[in-house]
Amino acid sequence: MGLLDRISTPADLRRLTTAQVEELAAEVRSFLVQAVSQTGGHLGPNLGVVELTIAIHRVFESPRDSFIFDTGHQSYVHKLLTGRQDFAALRRREGLSGYPSRAESEHDIVENSHASTALSWADGIAKANMLKGHRDRHVVAVIGDGALTGGMAWEAINNITASQDQRLVVIVNDNGRSYAPTIGGLAHHLDTLRTTRGYEQFLDWGRRTLRRSGPPGRLAYDALHGLKKGIKDVVAPQGMFEDLGLKYVGPVDGHDGEALDRALSRAKAFGGPVLVHVITEKGRGYSPAEQDVADRFHAVGVIHPETGLPVAPSRFGWTKVFADEIVKIGEERTDVVAITAAMLAPVGLAPFAARFPERTFDVGIAEQHAATSAAGMAFAGLHPVVALYATFLNRAFDQVLMDIALHRAGVTFVLDRAGITGDDGASHNGMWDMALMRIVPGLRLAAPRDEPTMRRALREAVAVDDAPTVVRYPKGPLGPELPALETVGGVDVLTRSQGSAGARVLVVGVGAMAATAVEVGSLLADGGIDVEVVSPTWVVPTPGGLVDLCADRDLVVTIEDGIVAGGVGALLAETAARAGHRAPVRQFGIPAVFLDHASRDQVVEASGLRPADVAAAVLADSALPSSDEADRTARL
């Protein structure tokens, strides 16, 4: 029985000796490698915070003290130390979430997988503690150096320092990389901190020298004071934090348990806001991750624990199609530039960056800045392509609306992981984008269904120079191509079936749901329905050709992998009604709820989006002629 098996609550950690803490850290790393290699998950970040998380729990007392992780993917060790050691179903339905979860434990506060929010949470909790008289409670926010590139973090610091009585400890987990090496001025600032002994040591030497030479005269004192002021921002950039009113401790070796205990204890005893700067190594203790320069171990699928190689090779996916096509476009057009927010490789921009480094801009975790900076580039004659995960576009909605659309800026957004992503849980499903973007005046949105329509949509998008465009695609491997029988009014017709029941149904498959729509059409045809299945690539605004296809139908069915409330189907219903078409539009999509982590297939089933579910609901629809309903249902 190892030490980890004896840890059921954080209090158990405080009884350990220094040697036992080191032994526990080794056990935790071994556990993480073995467990995460079988389920997939965020491996590298958690291997880097083992000693840090142990030290936090030894010095502070959760849940009386509040712990917040930014981002929450570095919370696996926290889970282990708070009694959650069954990782067999990590990120699977009814298993542990890949992020903190209030539903799992009283030790979890924020399910924050959208970065740079922890300090605002911490500020709010600390202020509430003060107002309620809880002077014995501390708030600890662990923020990765990458998350400090987000503007919200600095808004929070500005407010934290205004309340000097707050029991709040900010721990900067500085490993020099978020998804990729951390970029920007803050990265250079932290690089300097890593390699500086600190100006206070220099000043101590100066004071000792003056004491040896007799009572310090005014000139010597002034010289020392001036020297301190002059070297403050050169030798000791921690002065930036102290000038803001935030007490600075560090840098501290994030893999030295004793040093961490001392530093955190000093921060706890200070009685006001403190920043503890901790240097860690992402992937610590796991050779494949330590030797990896491409950061493949930030998040992994199922891998061989001994080698770190995937158990099943990745199939050619949507992201690779974008990566290939944007390079081709870049070779043809020198005005096309690429922007991303700390996710160069995950969104497929690494090949573009390698080919056109001077035309690639990684702005850090700053989606709002990315959008408005793109507006400026468009004004100055470029065509920016902003590549993000779909879920993170939510953070820049105001900038899309007011900085880009209002100014008719030619900016293209490419949204990876759109629709259902599943195992990363509520915050990562890219299900909001179509409902949000459809209300932006002048914006055009494409949802390609396969590789050819993806490549074509991207080219069509970057050809628009007087309005924002969006191209969205799902997570994962590509499905088979779905060629069109013909194109009618700009809308691809995928299948047609002549039925005997006299009912005429139009099925509209949006993007990745086009394959589902084809299966639904086949099932309806088996039920005697006269059905036509179409897939418009451009869905916002509603194509005129699609509106025309709604004429003379008994029922129009839309299937999308975005939220159904206010989605593409709702937009079609509104547009068709204004055009005088009376056929009801039956909309199928994701309900407007936060979805628990589960596989994509499980989410599809729970949302009633399997082909058989949709077909059965359509056949039972009161809008269809009812004479042969029982026969149709029996055939289905």
Compute the distance between CA of residue 156 and CA of residue 138 in angstroms, rounded to an integer.
17
Compute the distance between CA of residue 574 and CA of residue 594 in angstroms, rounded to an integer.
26
Q: Is the Cα dihedral 129, 135, 136, 141 positive or negative?
A: positive
How would you classify the pairing of strands 491-497 and 360-362? unpaired
88 marked among binding-site residues: no
User: Which one from 92, 395, 438, 553 is the annotated catalytic residue?
Assistant: 395
Say which amino acid occupies 148.
L
**Residue from 373, 418, 374 nearest 394 by CA:** 418
428 marked among binding-site residues: no
332 is catalytic: no
450 marked among binding-site residues: no
**Residue from 423, 417, 378, 373 nearest 394 by CA:** 417
Compute the distance between CA of residue 69 and CA of residue 75 in angstroms, rounded to an integer.
7
3-state SS assignment for residue 394: helix
159 marked among binding-site residues: no
- What are the helix (H) ranges across 279-338? 287-290, 318-332
146 marked among binding-site residues: yes
115 marked among binding-site residues: yes
Compute the distance between CA of residue 375 and CA of residue 417 in angstroms, rounded to an integer.
24
- What are the helix (H) ranges across 49-140? 50-59, 76-81, 118-131
22 is catalytic: no
113 marked among binding-site residues: yes
User: Which one from 29, 84, 282, 472 is the annotated catalytic residue?
Assistant: 282
175 marked among binding-site residues: yes
200 marked among binding-site residues: no
Q: Which residues contact 354 (CB under 8 A, 6 or more apart)?
A: none
**Residue from 72, 156, 145, 171 nearest 428 by CA:** 72
Distances (CA, A) of 503 to 202, 242, 325, 617: 87, 73, 42, 15
104 is catalytic: no
Question: What is the DSSP annotation of 264-294?
Answer: HHHHHHH-S-EEEEEE--TTTT-HHHHT-SS
Q: How many residues does the chain have?
A: 636
User: Which one from 111, 325, 367, 451 is the annotated catalytic residue?
Assistant: 367
CA-only gyration radius of the chain, Å: 28
145 marked among binding-site residues: yes
**Residue 41 DSSP symbol:** B
Return binding residues: 73, 113-115, 145-147, 175, 286, 367
- Binding site listing for Mg(2+): 145, 175
Catalytic residue annotation? 282, 367, 395
Binding-site residues for thiamine diphosphate, in ranges, read 73, 113-115, 146-147, 175, 286, 367
